[in-house]
Amino acid sequence: MVSSNHENAAGSLAFPKRLWGKIVGFALRLKNLGKDDPRRMIHCFKVGIALTFVSLFYYFKPLYDGFGLDAMWAILTVVVVFEFSVGATLGKGLNRMLATLTAGALGIGAHRLATLSGETGEPILIALFVFIIAGIVTFLRFIPQIKARYDYGMMVFILTFCLISVSGYRDEEVIRMGFERLSTIVIGSCAAVFVCTFICPVWIGVDLHNHIATNIEKLGNFLEGFEDGYFKISEDGQPINKSSSLQGYKSVLTSSSKEEIMANLAKWEPCHGKFRFRHPWNEYLKVGSVTRQCAFKIESLNHYLTSEIQSPPEVRSIIQGECTVISSECGKALKELASEVRKMTKSSAAEPHITNSKAAAENLKAVIRSSLSKHCNFLEIIQAGAVASLLFEVVKCTEEIAGAVHKLASLAHFKNAKPRVTPETQELPSQGAVNPVSGIDGAHHVITIDPSQSLRESENSSPPVLDPRMEV
The correct pick among 1, 69, 116, 440 for binding a second copy (CB under 8 A) is 69
Distance CA 130, CA 128 (A): 5
Q: Looking only at residues 368 through 407 of this chain, which bind a second copy when binding is defined by CB under 8 A? A: 368-369, 372-373, 376-379, 381-383, 385-386, 388-390, 392-393
Q: For the chain, first and last CA: distance in Å?
A: 91
Q: Which is nearer to a second copy, 317 or 416 (CB)?
A: 317
Within the chain, what is the greatest distance between any pair of CA atoms? 101
Tell me how crowded residue 184 is: count the other CB atoms within 10 A of its CB.
24
Binding string to a second copy for residues 36 to 65, with x set by CB under 8 A, is what?
----xx-xxx-xxx-xx--x--xx----x-
Which amino acid, 256?
A: S
C-beta separation of 434 from 367 below 8 A? no
Q: Which residues pair with 416 in a beta bridge?
A: 346
Task: For residues 449 and 360, give the distance between their C-alpha atoms in angstroms, rounded to a whole number.
Answer: 13
Of 45 and 198, CB closest to a second copy: 45
Measured distance CA(79)–CA(97) in Å, rounded:
15
Q: Which amino acid would we find at residue 112? A: R
Least distance to a second copy, CB of residue 127, Å:
5
- Work out how close the CB of 419 gets to a second copy at its nearest, in angstroms, rounded to a whole number: 37
Q: Would you say 93 and 268 are in contact if contact means Cβ atoms under 8 Å apart?
A: no
Query: Any idea what DSSP says for residue 348?
Result: -
**415 binds a second copy per the rule CB under 8 A:** no
The Cα–Cα gap between 453 and 425 comes to 9
Binding track over 298-327 against a second copy, x by CB under 8 A: -xx--x-----x------------------
Is 303 or 420 the residue whose CB approaches a second copy more closely? 303
Of residues 135-154, which lie at the interface with a second copy (CB under 8 A)? 135-136, 138-139, 142-143
Length of the chain: 472
To the nearest whole angstrom, how small is the minimum distance from the Cβ of residue 385 to a second copy?
Answer: 4
Counting residues that bind a second copy (by CB under 8 A) gives 78
Q: How far apart are CA 291 and CA 122, in angstroms?
A: 59
Choosing from 10, 14, 253, 470, the residue that interacts with a second copy (CB under 8 A) is 253
Cβ at position 224, least distance to a second copy in Å: 22
Q: Which stretch binds a second copy (CB under 8 A): 132-140, 328-336, 343-351, 435-443?
A: 132-140
Distances (CA, A) of 53 to 48, 187, 190: 8, 11, 12
Binding mask 349-368 for a second copy (x = CB under 8 A): ----------------x--x
Query: By C-beta, is 136 or 240 nearer to a second copy?
Result: 136
Element (H, E) at 12: helix 2-36
**Cα-Cα-Cα-Cα dihedral of 206, 211, 217, 218, to 10°?**
160
x-or-dash pattern for a second copy, window 181-210, by CB under 8 A? ------------------------------
Q: Smallest gap, in angstroms, from Cβ of residue 166 to a second copy?
A: 5
In angstroms, the CA 130 to CA 163 distance is: 10
| Minimum distance, C-beta of residue 118 to a second copy, in the bound complex (Å) | 14
| CA atoms of 191 and 461, how far apart (whole Å) | 44
Binding a second copy (rule: CB under 8 A), the pick from 88, 103, 126, 395 is 126
Q: CA-CA distance, 50 to 78, in Å (whole number)?
A: 7
410 binds a second copy (CB under 8 A): no
Q: Is 27 in the site for a second copy (CB under 8 A)?
A: no
**Shortest reach from residue 161's CB to a second copy, in Å:** 10
Q: Could you say which residues in the range 83-122 bind a second copy, by CB under 8 A?
A: none
